[in-house]
Chains A and B, each alone.
Chain A
Amino acid sequence: MIQVNNLRKSFNGEEILKGITATFEKGKTNMIIGASGSGKSVFLKNMLGLFVPDDGEIVYDGVALNEMEIEEKSRLRTEMGMLFQHSALFDSLNVEENIMFPLRMFNRMKKKERRERANEILERVNLVNLNKKMPSEISGGQQKRVALARAIANNPRFLFCDEPNSGLDPKTATVIDNLIQEITHERNITTVIISHDMNSVMEIGESIVFLKDGKLAWKGTNKDIFKTDNEAVTDFVYSSNLFQKVRIAQNEGF
């Protein structure tokens, strides 16, 4: 479980995060949603320790990140997996080497074992026979799946995903969403996902945090989100044409 207490962060005098408190539960797909510029990515980078908060704390399974020693922080990071928005695969390594990278760095596995594990994960993300391809030789959707495979290779306790569906077609987006949810339940890990995509929110948003202007504006589940009368949330949810039409159809009794 990850507990965030009163998190504040400013850049050049402008406060981006204005005291956010939230809980991300174990075994659930926890989503952070909100419009562009609402502070989602900054929030996530603070949670990952890539930014140092101005105030507040982030507590991983009872231990505050800012109170950890460097070694303790490094150990925690080996238990984190991160799927970046643009995949962030290492250009100089092929698909297999990218997946084996965390295994090689933090495990005493032999090369053969690492390769077997990489193949096993590649199969899991529906990518076979791409082992020797370079990241530049595969499509965006395939890159995302490789990045997800790399993120889960070392059996992380905490999985973070920054807009896992951006730039993907609906079918591939659904595959990625389902994979993330399956892995979360199967391994009972704490998963935190940033997303704009309302389809994802509907599908896998077991716990949702809605940010607006650097503040937590609403929290709930995918079942609650269409029932809430919170204006900020309804504005966000029904901003897409599809959902506007769905609402009109609901109101008209279809």
Chain B
Amino acid sequence: MKFLKHIGRYMIMLFGVFRRPTKAIVLKELVLKEIDDLIIGSLGITAFISLFMGAVVALQTALNLDNPLIPKSLIGFATRQSIILEFAPTFISVIMAGKVGSYITSSIGSMRVTEQIDALEVMGINPLNYLVFPKIIALLFYPFLIAIIMFVGILGGYLASVYGGLTSYEDFIVGLQDTFIPWHVMYAFIKTMVFGILLATIPSYHGYYMEGGALEVGKASTTSFVWTCVAIIIANYILTQLLLS
């Protein structure tokens, strides 16, 4: 019953986000600020993780290639497929649930605790539109971040393979281009777009409706991380079924 209550309230929140919009010029500034905080601010850490994950995927593939009949170009192929299909959109989204999700929950939760949300409401501003809508718009740019992550991940695989002496430059590039299906990139971006909306709204929900004090802000951040991850994993399965099977 409690779960259904949360789902219902989450839906009501989503409708609330689009009602009584904030002044356009203010909204524009808020969106730009959120793009800076949520997308550009995450670029460094996600690129770092991606570079090394790409390298690890290439290393592990190479270490499992015992059979001389299997071409070395498989390293490039496996790196590309792992990064584009799962690692960049899904794994990075789980990391973003920790980084961006906690930030969103704690910032909105702190505003709730310190009555800043009440202050917005008393002034006649729709707090949901003012606080959550710019985050949703900012995270619609999330696929751009993931495109960079894909590139950096494959670059990591390339550096580990070629400079680690696992394969040659030519073999890696052949593998990278082998049976490339552009739809897979599209599939990854569609997933990313959905994950972006989940990343903006689930942590906002947990921050906006939290009750209590500073301790509860911490608890709400943890809960929001867990539920955002759960939602991403379930959405990943459903979208893969719908788009690839």
Contacts and interface: CB of A to CB of B under 8 A. Distances in A.
B122 A48 contact: yes
Contact of A84 (B22, B23, B119): B119
B118 interface: yes
Contacts of A160: 122
Interface string B110-143: 1100111011011111000000000000000000
Given A70-B20, A105-B23, A105-B26, A88 B118 contact: yes
A147 to B, nearest CB: 9
Interface in B10-51: 19-20, 22-23, 26
A243 interface: no
Contacts of B23: 104-105
A78 B116 contact: no
Contact of B119 (A73, A88, A104): A88
Nearest to A147: B119
A75 interface: yes
A234 B18 CA distance: 51
Interface residues of A, number: 26
A104 B26 contact: yes
A88 B114 contact: yes
Contact of B122 (A82, A85, A89): A82
A140 interface: no
Contact of B114 (A76, A80, A86, A101): A86
A160 B119 CA distance: 11
Given A74-B20, A91-B110, A84 B124 contact: no
A78 B121 CA distance: 10
Contact of A91 (B20, B116, B118, B124): B116
B124 A82 contact: no
Contacts of B115: 84-86, 88
Contacts of B116: 88-91
Given A84-B119, A105-B23, A74 B114 contact: no
13 contacts: A45-B118, A77-B122, A82-B123, A84-B119, A88-B116, A89-B116, A90-B119, A91-B110, A91-B116, A102-B123, A105-B23, A105-B26, A105-B124
Interface of B: 19-20, 22-23, 26, 110-111, 114-116, 118-119, 121-125
The 8 closest A-B pairs by CB, nearest first: A77-B124, A88-B115, A88-B119, A74-B124, A82-B122, A78-B124, A84-B115, A88-B116
